[in-house]
Amino acid sequence: MTLHRTPPNASDTPAQRQGQCVAYGCPMWAEVKTGPDWTCCCHAFAPASAWQDITQRLNQRRQLLRTIHRALHVNPAEWKPDVAAGYMGKIGRPDLAPARITLTHLARDRFTGQTVEVQIERDERDHPQLWVARLLRTLVRECAEGAPEPAKPVATAAVPMPTAVRDLIPNFGGDGR
């Protein structure tokens, strides 16, 4: 059995390229290893019955994919949020322009030991990695989970915080460090 799930009427030439998701016709780069195969973040945890729909949704969002791919490799020194905002409008996704966002995450209160919800405000225009993270979340929500597009502007999102961002969180213990 293969995980390629190649449609019966597909041509003989393999559609998959090196480093690409194993799902037939998927335009995404592979990043999750599931069994012997590498899949993209959208196909990785989806049931086989949903694979073709996911591939179709991804192919409908190729401009967004290209944007994410480029943004993942952006040099922070060359990050131009205004240009990014203009481009997102041009490809019909003004909801995904870099904006001010509220991030919610769980943290352990260092005094009470309890898990508390911490909200921080960040401006994606100052933190391109936060913007890319939101683009990726949106892509997974729309392609893997089938959420309608355009999603309402995301003001609040619960995300695991990358290490670099965790460093930015002020000490709410207030010991002045």
If binding is defined by CB under 5 A, does position 65 make contact with Zn ion? no
The Cα 52–Cα 40 span in angstroms is: 13
How near is the Cβ of 29 to Zn ion at its closest, in Å? 9
Q: Which is nearer to Zn ion, 26 or 135 (CB)?
A: 26
Q: Could you give phi then psi for residue 61, rounded to 5 degrees?
A: -120, 40
Q: Which is nearer to Zn ion, 52 or 63 (CB)?
A: 52
- What residue type is assigned to position 142 of the chain? E
Q: Which is nearer to Zn ion, 20 or 129 (CB)?
A: 20
Helix (H) or strand (E) holding 60: none
Q: Which is nearer to Zn ion, 28 or 99 (CB)?
A: 28
For 145, the token pair is 């989970």
How near is the Cβ of 131 to Zn ion at its closest, in Å? 22
Looking at 24, 25, 40, 127, which residue binds Zn ion (CB under 5 A)?
Answer: 40
**How many residues are recorded in the chain?**
177
Q: Could you give phi then psi for residue 103, rounded to 5 degrees?
A: -105, 135
Q: Which is nearer to Zn ion, 28 or 135 (CB)?
A: 28
How near is the Cβ of 54 to Zn ion at its closest, in Å? 7
Which 3-32 positions form the footprint of Zn ion (CB under 5 A)?
Answer: 21, 23, 26, 28
If binding is defined by CB under 5 A, does position 99 make contact with Zn ion? no
If binding is defined by CB under 5 A, does position 57 make contact with Zn ion? no
The Cα 4–Cα 167 span in angstroms is: 41
The Cα 135–Cα 133 span in angstroms is: 5
Instruction: Tell me the C-alpha to C-alpha distance, in Å, between residue 150 and each of 7, 40, 91, 117, 147.
Output: 29, 22, 12, 28, 9
Which 116-175 positions form the footprint of Zn ion (CB under 5 A)?
Answer: none
If binding is defined by CB under 5 A, does position 46 make contact with Zn ion? no
How near is the Cβ of 57 to Zn ion at its closest, in Å? 10
Given a contact cutoff of 8 angstroms between Cβ atoms, the answer to whether 58 and 39 are in contact is no
Place of tokens 């993209």: 40
Q: Which residues make up the interface to Zn ion (CB under 5 A)?
A: 21, 23, 26, 28, 40, 43
